[in-house]
Amino acid sequence: MTELVIQNLYKRYGEVEVLKDINLTVKTGEFTVFVGPSGCGKSTLLRMICGLDEVSSGEIAIDGELMNAVPPSKRGIAMVFQSYALYPHMSVAQNMGYALRLAGESKELIAERVTRASEILKIDDYLDRKPRQLSGGQRQRVAIGRAIVREPKIFLFDEPLSNLDAALRVDMRMEFARLKDRLGTTMIYVTHDQVEAMTLADKIVVMRDGRIEQVGSPLDLYHHPENRFVAGFIGSPKMNFLPVTGGDGARLRLPGGSVAAPRIGKPFEIGVRPEHMEITDGAENTLTGNVLTSEHLGSDTFAYVQIEGVERPAMVRLDGERQITHGEDVSIGFADSAVHYFGSDGLTISQAQVPAAA
């Protein structure tokens, strides 16, 4: 079974540590997404798995076999590059069959696999064209086709959708999901777009500054972020954060109101997702603020509510038909269960032991 195990992995460029103590296991058939802001080291990690960047220290093993010194072509992986990196002077068919040709496979086998892959990706009409005669989406498919033809144990995707326009990106995202079901191969996918991560992944690896912040399923990360960074990074629109200004044993004082205190820990900050907030007086917790502006998307209305003492206005997701008067004082309400508590170190104060609010 194809299992990728990374242990104590470091990448250094001179004095600079780009990756710090990475430990990760990717199981067979898993769709794993590395996500994080630019410069977090996610692409470097992918390139090291691929074998394009050398390991400074630590181990990368596929199927129990140490890969540190194995050249990329011998690792049983295929990579789809951000720029697609198609060979401009070769036709689509030649692009896709290149790896097999180098491996000395027979013409029949190459033709058969290229045909099969091109049918899966619906590019069988373009096999004789050169890359420059294709649209962005078609090029993307050829790049994926080139990977499929090799029948790798692991697919690596480096921000494959970032060069496509928004509409095409949504389409291709769906294609990736379909491909994942159809091929069932292990896939590792790098993106800075948390929506891509949430929609595609079985397992998300959130990275920041060369470290893994949290690993888990999309819903796991959404509901139980381990720290403030993951809480803010996962979920769209972003979670609202409010500083804790004081309080007693039962209630925590916040700017504009208060919230139920957790059973354990001394929170420094709390977070509530916009979709868990309402504009209402009748809720377990309420905050007062002034409506700064609102955005009507049809399906949703986003209200930006300025709470005194908080720099960033809180965002509240409301029904699409809801009308909001700008400049009006309102009460934001939310349930106890919607509150995430964070300590001064940025870590989540887990309330797992605490019974869910009644």
CB of 85 to other proteins, least distance (A): 4
- Of the two residues 8 and 73, which places its CB atom closer to other proteins in the complex? 73
Buried b (16+ CB within 10 A) or exposed e, 172-204: bbebbeebbeeeebbbbbbbbbbebbbebbebb
Count of residues in the chain: 358
Alpha-carbon dihedral angle through residues 88, 90, 96, 97, given to the nearest 10 degrees = -150
Q: Which one, 56 or 306, has the nearer CB to other proteins?
A: 56
Which residue in 244, 215, 242 sits closest to 230, CA to CA? 215
Per-residue b or e along 241-277, where b marks 16 or more CB atoms closer than 10 Å to that residue's CB: bbebeebeeeebebbbbbbbbbeebebbbbbbbbbbb
CB of 47 to other proteins, least distance (A): 8
Nearer to other proteins, 103 or 357 (CB): 103
Quote the least distance from Cβ 94 to other proteins, whole Å: 10
Residue nearer to other proteins on the CB measure, 158 or 278:
158
What count of other Cβ atoms lies within 10 Å of the Cβ of residue 297?
9
The conformation of residue 37, written as its DSSP 8-state character, comes to S
Nearest distance from residue 33's CB to other proteins, in Å? 20
Q: Which is nearer to other proteins, 79 or 279 (CB)?
A: 79
Shortest separation between residue 320's beta carbon and other proteins, angstroms: 43
Which residues are at the interface with other proteins (CB under 8 A)?
50-52, 71-73, 77-79, 81-83, 85-90, 98-99, 102-103, 146, 150
